[in-house]
Amino acid sequence: MPRKKLLLSWSSGKDSAWTLHLLRQQNQYEIVGLLTTVNQAFNRVAMHGTRVELLRVQAESAGLPLIELPLPWPCSNETYECVMQAACSDAITRGVEVIAFGDLFLRDIRAYREKQLQGTGLTPVFPLWEIPTDKLAHEMISGGLRARLTCIDPKSLPHSFAGREFDTTLLSDLPPGTDPCGENGEFHTCVYDGPMFSKALEITTGEVVERDGFVYADMLISNAALQAPILK
């Protein structure tokens, strides 16, 4: 029986990357691409702040086509939903039946995704759902995932955490009450190596800036000549 075609919602961070790894291990679906929203004004992944050129190298190393969904800035919820609705319609025409998300435990976010996909013909799946985040964080690190913190909420973490490596030292340094995977918005990451990639990305940490109430550490890619095919 043929496997259902699946698109993965790709944030450039550790949760979506680990979702890809688990999906490949399970071998239940045919993964046909990565789906990412991009802030047009800055050419970066929303919230994570990952540069588009780095995003494309991630997809190339993952061996999957990248579908970039450009969003204006600022972007209303109505505009976002229209862009996503068009992307869902396009996915259906390509034979996609499933969209995977790397959500961990926020029920309102899951409910929103499920509501938005009702009646589209696309089924949402959540491979990491309710895995204890302390266990998950350590599994990612011991499993070879390498990432750096690209965005932090300064109300939750000191500025010095921006740009740090996501490793066991960082986990032990997190303030009490901080989710080990940053699921409450404490931090976001950019993955540069792991079992989901064919080769590590060569990155360096650039400027650290505070913008719109968050602290961003810029990640620069040195092997940017490698690019994934982009689906239009």
Determine the pLDDT at residue 224: 47
Question: Is residue 56 one of the residues assigned to a domain?
Answer: yes
Question: Is residue 226 one of the residues assigned to a domain?
Answer: no
What average pLDDT does range 164-170 have in this prediction?
98
Question: Is residue 229 one of the residues assigned to a domain?
Answer: no
What average pLDDT does range 208-223 have in this prediction?
91
Predicted TM-score (pTM) of the model is 0.93
User: Tokens 């550790």 — which residue?
Assistant: 14
Tell me the pLDDT tens digit for each residue of 13-28: 999 999 999 999 999 9
Determine the pLDDT at residue 60: 96
Determine the pLDDT at residue 223: 56
Determine the pLDDT at residue 78: 86
Which of 199, 181, 140, 67 lies closest to 221, judged by CA? 199
Which of 46, 41, 53 lies closest to 10, judged by CA? 46
Tell me the pLDDT tens digit for each residue of 86-140: 999 999 999 999 999 999 999 999 999 999 999 999 999 999 999 999 999 999 9
Question: Is residue 8 one of the residues assigned to a domain?
Answer: yes
Question: Is residue 27 one of the residues assigned to a domain?
Answer: yes
The DSSP output letter for 159 is G
**pLDDT, averaged across the chain:** 93
Question: Is residue 164 one of the residues assigned to a domain?
Answer: yes
Q: Cα 204 vs. chain centroid, distance in angstroms?
A: 19
Count up the domains in the chain and report the number: 1
How large a percentage of the chain has pLDDT more than 70?
Answer: 96
Q: Which residues, in sequence order, are bridge partners of residue 217?
A: 208
The DSSP output letter for 45 is E
Question: Is residue 133 one of the residues assigned to a domain?
Answer: yes
Q: At 50, which amino acid appears?
A: T
Longest dimension (CA), the chain: 51
In CATH, what number is assigned to the domain containing residue 166?
A: 3.40.50.620
Pick from 79-88, 89-98, 217-226: least confident: 217-226
Domain enclosing residue 32, as ranges: 4-221
Asked if 206 contacts 216 with a C-beta cutoff of 8 angstroms, the reply is no
Question: Is residue 23 one of the residues assigned to a domain?
Answer: yes
Q: What angle do the packed helices 133-142 and 14-26 form, to 10 degrees?
A: 80
The stretches of the chain forming alpha helices (DSSP H) are 14-26, 52-62, 77-93, 107-117, 133-142, 168-173
User: Tokens 């047009």 — which residue?
Assistant: 40
Q: Is pLDDT of 172 > 80?
A: yes
Determine the pLDDT at residue 225: 43
